[in-house]
Amino acid sequence: MGFTVEELLNVGVILRFVAIGTYAAAFVSYAARLAVQRLKLDRLATGIAVLGVGAHTAYLITRWVAAGQIEILERLRTGDVLSSYDRFWFMVSHPPYTNLFDALNFVAWAMMVCYLIIERKWGLRVVGVLALALALVAMGEATLVTDKQIEPLVPALQSYWILIHVGMLFVSYSLFTLGAVCALLYLVRTGTATSVMGGVQAAAAALLLSMVGGGRLLFAATFEMAPGWIHQIQSRLHQGKLLDVTTAVHMVPPGSDKAVKFFTPVAGVGPFLLAAVVLFIAGAVLSWLHQRRGQPEQGVHERGYQVIAIGFASLTIGLALLIYRIVHSANIVLPAGVQLAPGEHGPFQLSLASNYALGLIALVWGSTLGFLLTTPLRDRISAGLPDPRKLEDITYRVVIAGWPLLTVGIVMGGMWANEAWGRFWGWDPKETWALITWVVYAGYLHTRITLGWAGKRPAAIAVFAFAVVVFTFMGVNLGLTGEGLHTYGAG
């Protein structure tokens, strides 16, 4: 092809900005159409969204082709002789979802494509507002990643399995996200009791926060985070130019030969986060009791709601303090006896870049805020939403579209593992969490199909399951659960 890698990447940068800009415009038009029913923006809004997806698709193609070219050029540079078959293979071998930056962009794209299909088949434009918002969040988060360069794949990932195994799983995650959106809207539309909404929100929030904090938070009220080490890497594009990159610090624990992320306590944050977890659990229990006893709907005057609100206040303080500590991070002095992973060196600082923990806490914060703000307005929002039966039906359809992909994706991962490492299943954290997601959705399908549950209970499961999907996609990479075989390279 007639383009150099540099040209492709430069065009890609522009296309990505075009996609983000168009999504933002589409978001505004979808939201405006929703807020003011008289506005005839339907076709325009969809048109803008389609344009955005077009630019996004073109961006991913440039990224894929550029990655393929890099794989080939790097091999030629280091003296390999490539047959035409080799060239073809390396050209396609590096799909645009093999590092965090690319994966976030890819999931946003997959979600938008799935959303447009849903819109075309069944309407439901209101889902579009949330889908666009989530796509923008994902791409915005991608922007925060410092290392956006395409590196040739590490040997473990040089396999045709990566094309199908990872792609399928990411598409299923984006379908589940849309399913959770529909299920959430269903719950709002059917005037679901505040106690149910609060219960699900608080339970999901408590689960995610405890996952992010781990045992150190739950048992010692200490919040630990992996600091970054700032270093420079050679720019692949411009000879001699250096890029600043921040990646997590790794250490080698005594008696082990595997590097793990190094964690350092962030002063003062732990108690607030722990209080938030405890209050969210209490809120969930109170909400559950409220529901169980059949007490009447009292909106913001329910005890469960108020406890969740206090938990949210505690979380807000914790999050603000955390951001303050990160922004004003002094150089971290490693405790004596810590052996760093080879090649890594100071200075070490807490960093906003590639910060999974911060992203997840912010997600919990945002969704809890959403719950708290929308509860008093519930009836007004509810009136503007489509037929609940349609919402429920589409939740189900989206889940049964995603579940086969998830299943086949996991099984193919097992087959790949068997061919590369000699075992189908090793209970590696990423594997385990994919299976946890699978179990949750298997539960959804069985309650829905075989047990004949309908309405709010399956919808609540679908919303809760989103927290699990998010943790599987990002949380496992925190390193709290031990670095398994699925943490390749940066992050």
Partner 1 sequence: MSVPEGLVSVGPQSGAVSEVARLPLLTEEQSHQLVELVWRFFCSLRLTLANLLGLFLAMIAGTFVNPANDSLTNIEKAFAGRTTVLGAYRWFELYDLFHSWWFTLMLTSLALNLIACSFERLPRIYYLVRYPERRLDHVAGLRFKVPASASLLQPEAVAAHLRTHGYLAQVTGSDVFAEKGRYARFGVWVVHVSLLLILGGGIIGRLTAFEGVAEVPQAGGTADSFIEKRPDGSVFKHKLGFLVRCDDFRLKEFEPGRPKAFESDLTVLEEQPDGTPGRELKRDTISVNHPLKWAGLTFYQASYRQLDEGMKAKVKLLDKAGKTERELLVGAGEKVEAAEGLSYQLIDHQEDFASMGEAVQVLRTEDGKDSSFWVFAKSPDFDRDNREDRFAFQFERLSPFYATGLQIARDPSTPVVYTGCFLLFAGIAIAFYTSHKRIWAKAQDGRLALGGAAHRNAEAFSQEFDDLCAALGLPLQKRKPVPVPQAAP
Residues interacting with partner 1, by CB under 8 A? 74-75, 77-78, 151-152, 154-156, 158-159, 190, 211, 214-215, 253, 255-256, 260, 343, 388-390, 392-393, 400, 404, 407-408, 411, 414-415, 418-425, 427, 429, 432-433, 435-436, 439-440, 442-443, 446-447, 450-457, 476, 480-482
What is the nearest approach in angstroms of partner 1 to the Cβ of residue 317? 26
Rounded CA-CA distance 377/357 in Å is: 31
DSSP designation for 249: -
Tell me if 356 sits within 8 A of 470, measured CB to CB. no
DSSP states of 83-112? -HHHHHHHHHSS-TTSSHHHHHHHHHHHHH
Rounded CA-CA distance 364/300 in Å is: 20
Nearer to partner 1, 106 or 416 (CB): 416
What is the nearest approach in angstroms of partner 1 to the Cβ of residue 233? 10
What is the nearest approach in angstroms of partner 1 to the Cβ of residue 166? 15
What is the nearest approach in angstroms of partner 1 to the Cβ of residue 392? 6
Tell me if 344 sits within 8 A of 249, measured CB to CB. yes
What is the nearest approach in angstroms of partner 1 to the Cβ of residue 66? 16
What is the nearest approach in angstroms of partner 1 to the Cβ of residue 432? 5
Per-residue tokens: 277? 């977890």
Nearer to partner 1, 78 or 84 (CB): 78
Give me the phi and psi of 136, to 5 degrees please: -65, -40
Nearer to partner 1, 331 or 450 (CB): 450
Tell me if 29 sits within 8 A of 45, measured CB to CB. yes
Strand partners, 464: none
Nearer to partner 1, 55 or 162 (CB): 162
* 419, 420, 425, 427 alpha-carbon torsion, rounded to 10°: -170
What is the nearest approach in angstroms of partner 1 to the Cβ of residue 15? 27
Give me the phi and psi of 111, to 5 degrees please: -65, -40
Nearer to partner 1, 227 or 409 (CB): 409
Nearer to partner 1, 384 or 482 (CB): 482
187, amino acid identity: L
What is the nearest approach in angstroms of partner 1 to the Cβ of residue 32? 27
* 154, 156, 162, 168 alpha-carbon torsion, rounded to 10°: -110
Nearer to partner 1, 120 or 423 (CB): 423
Per-residue CA distances from 309 to 9, 209, 446 (Å): 46, 16, 34
Rounded CA-CA distance 157/382 in Å is: 47
117, amino acid identity: I
Nearer to partner 1, 49 or 460 (CB): 460
The answer for 423, left when phi > 0, alpha when psi is -120 to 50, beta otherwise, is beta
What is the nearest approach in angstroms of partner 1 to the Cβ of residue 328? 30
Q: Which of 143, 145, 9, 159 is nearest to 70 (CA)?
A: 9
What is the nearest approach in angstroms of partner 1 to the Cβ of residue 160? 9
Nearer to partner 1, 23 or 229 (CB): 229
DSSP states of 446-467? IIIIIS---THHHHHHHHHHHH
DSSP H or E stretch at residue 215:
helix 194-220
Nearer to partner 1, 55 or 401 (CB): 401
HSE-up of 437 (CA within 13 Å, CB side)?
32
